[in-house]
Amino acid sequence: MGVRERYTSLLPYLFFLALRKSTTFFLISMKLLNVFLSQFMQVRKLGRPAKLFLLALLLDGFLISGWSLFFNFYILESGFSLEYLGLINAMPSIAALIFAVPMGMLSDKMGRKRAMLLGFLAANTAMLLILVVRQPLFMLSMAFIWGIGGQLFFLSHAPFMMKVSDDSSRDLLFSVSFGVFPLASTLGNAIAGLLPGLFGRLLGVVVHSSLAYQAVLLVSVISSFLVMLPIALIREPQTRPEAERAVMPMAPRQSIWNVLQRPLTLKLALPNLITGFGAAMLIPYMNVFFAERHHLGNQHLGLLFSLASLLVGLATFIGPRLVGNLGGKIRMIVLVQSASLAFLLLLGFSPLVWPAVVGFLVRGTLMNMAAPLFNAFAMEQTPEAAQGAVNSLRAWVWNVGWAVGPYISGVVQERYGFSPLFIATGVLYAVAITLTWVFFHKYTRREVIPAAAYSD
């Protein structure tokens, strides 16, 4: 039998194999779609405060996309160095490092709604002033204020969600709150990718000019003030639901240091510290990485980040359903984050653009799928009186890495490129995942630390 006849005889088998694989992929896709739709339909059962909060996050994700996509390019095209870019990216985290705990305590005192409004107003105003006044020291100071306001805004999220949810809806609300932002960013990034070309034509400048990028950023920041409207309409409950207080009674108000010195609090914070260092050296520069290594233009970057946001958003809806299938939150978190490490290396070391794109999309999806579930787990282990302090500490240690990581990254990029950063990030992620398993693998979904563990 000749070679041609041999391959011809294999055609029915190859056709059958391809049909079988296609059918399997279709069935898996339909199952995932069904899971997503069923989770999405559950959102209708959430209360009005939770729905308004999700609407605010939806608007934020859509409107601020231009900033996330093009701020780095605006700084570089304005004549600043990679080192300055690293410094200005680090300033919000330096501010958070200093003010995270005080902002958490202020949120406890003010109430979550007022804290979110004040924090968002301060952060957005500072971002606007960065674009209006192009003076290096002033821009750094505004980035610092942006970080303070952002901390007050974001640190109020988890305690607010605990207050407006019960045990049956908490995983859903935390996951949807995390997923609605990237889902909105899907459309936002796709539109934002077209805007530099539009403003370039309107202003008579080249597409990659600082003026074109500045126009995109101004539209993004000014329009995002609309986020405050649904927050202003929220009627904040005074206490958590009765069923939740029965599970986790209120601990007496206590010293911040007593809360922060508890072994459980430190265990909840340590993985955040290590992951923050790894993420800060790499994640803020993904747009620069693809532009320099693989020569992607603005529109392609917009589409890429749009697709990444879509996948992250869908994954966070599916995440709560996987908790039961994989044996609990901690097991699910460790499994998906461990799987993401291979795709991180594919992203960093593939010489071709398409494998790098696949690595970027899958890595981000897996890592971000787990984040809201660990946030919910941390809040479940913490009495309401201590939630602001614990959430502040977890944000504070995260910002330790983000306070220095972007600057270190800028220096390393100028001298050695991106390769050492991918290696360092992978090692740090692996250590954080291991610690998460060591600390919490014995915890089940229903285990809650009693309030007495936090009392004096």
- Residue 19 CA from chain centroid, whole number: 38
pLDDT at residue 429 is higher than 70: yes
For 218-245, what is each residue's pLDDT tens digit? 999 999 999 999 999 988 776 554 444 4
Two tokens at 376? 């919910």
Say if residues 231 and 117 touch (Cβ distance below 8 Å).
yes
CA distance 125 to 177: 24
CA distance 371 to 231: 23
Higher-pLDDT residue of 302 and 17 is 302
Spatial neighbors of 12 by CB under 8 A, at least 6 apart, are none
Lowest mean pLDDT among 30-44, 281-295, 393-407, 409-423: 30-44
Predicted confidence band of residue 298 (pLDDT cuts 50, 70, 90): confident
For 43-100, what is each residue's pLDDT tens digit? 667 788 888 999 999 999 899 888 988 999 999 999 998 889 989 988 988 898 888 7
Predicted confidence band of residue 447 (pLDDT cuts 50, 70, 90): very low
Residue in the structure block whose two tokens are 């605010």: 56
Higher-pLDDT residue of 195 and 29 is 195
CA distance 298 to 319: 31
* pTM across the whole model: 0.71
Higher-pLDDT residue of 224 and 3 is 224
CA distance 154 to 151: 5
Burial class (CB in 10 A: 0-12, 13-18, 19+), 45: exposed
Residue in the structure block whose two tokens are 């490490």: 341
Two tokens at 134? 């192009």
Query: Helix, strand, coil proportions of the chain in percent (round to 5)?
Result: 85, 0, 15
pLDDT at residue 332 is higher than 90: no
CA distance 329 to 332: 5
Two tokens at 333? 């978190």
CA distance 40 to 20: 30
Q: What is the DSSP letter of 252?
A: P
Percentage of the chain exceeding pLDDT 70: 80
Write down the H helix ranges in 417-456.
Answer: 419-440
Q: Which amino acid is at 222?
A: I
pLDDT at residue 37 is higher than 60: no
Say if residues 345 and 228 touch (Cβ distance below 8 Å).
no
Classify domain 46-235+255-454 by CATH number: 1.20.1250.20
Q: Which amino acid is at 392?
A: S
pLDDT at residue 38 is higher than 60: no
- Mean pLDDT (the chain) is 81
Predicted confidence band of residue 396 (pLDDT cuts 50, 70, 90): confident
pLDDT at residue 101 is higher than 90: no
Predicted confidence band of residue 34 (pLDDT cuts 50, 70, 90): low
CA-to-CA separations, 363 to 105, 168, 278, 336, 338, in angstroms, rounded: 34, 29, 14, 9, 10
Say if residues 250 and 108 touch (Cβ distance below 8 Å).
no
Residue in the structure block whose two tokens are 């979550």: 112
pLDDT at residue 25 is higher than 70: no
Say if residues 277 and 426 touch (Cβ distance below 8 Å).
no
CA distance 304 to 285: 14
Q: How many residues are present in the chain?
A: 456
- Residue 151 CA from chain centroid, whole number: 14
pLDDT, average across residues 339-353:
93
Which of 273, 230, 210 is CA-nearest to residue 48?
230
pLDDT at residue 374 is higher than 90: no
Which DSSP string corresponds to 324-339?
HHTTSHHHHHHHHHHH
Q: What are phi and psi of 453, to 5 degrees?
A: -65, -15
